Amino acid sequence: MSADGTPRGPGGGWLPGTSPNPGGRPRKIREIEALIDAEFRVYEEVRQGYLTLRDLAFNGVRNPAFNHKGEIVGEKVTYHPAYLEMWFNRIVGPVKDLDLDFDDATPEQLEYMRRKFNLKQ
């Protein structure tokens, strides 16, 4: 028996018919999940989002360039690193910090890595 008096099985699990949630998942949650699936998990829309993000990351944002009189004299391209970071995070995943431990490396191994990666002592 549990603290609230509900009978339990041998492993402490609920006996058939005595679940604290007899109806399963609430209907409202299923409706919300269906709405999210219909709205945001459409392949073509997700693909279009990635293509737009890639275009912003690699081609920048074009803005008009003005002279001192306020007249448009051309355009300038602004690149935002945040777009590239967002694109890479979605394509290859966020960058993770490496937890490297060189306590047991020999001096020869450390010297090789210094030379290989152009590191200073």
Span 4-25, pLDDT tens digits: 666 777 777 767 766 666 566 6
Give the structural domain span for 34: 27-96
Q: Is residue 105 part of a domain?
A: no
In this structure, the strands spanning 72-78 and 61-66 are antiparallel
Q: Is residue 47 part of a domain?
A: yes
Name the strand (E) or helix (H) holding 55. helix 43-59
| Residue 22 burial (C-beta neighbours within 10 Å; 0-12, 13-18, 19+) | exposed
Q: Is residue 109 part of a domain?
A: no
Q: Is residue 66 part of a domain?
A: yes
Domain count, the chain: 1
Q: Is residue 1 part of a domain?
A: no
Looking at residue 74, what is its pLDDT?
93
Looking at residue 18, what is its pLDDT?
67
Q: Is residue 4 part of a domain?
A: no
Q: Is residue 112 part of a domain?
A: no
Indicate the Cα dihedral angle 86, 91, 92, 94, nearest 10°: 30
Of 37 and 69, the one with more pLDDT: 69
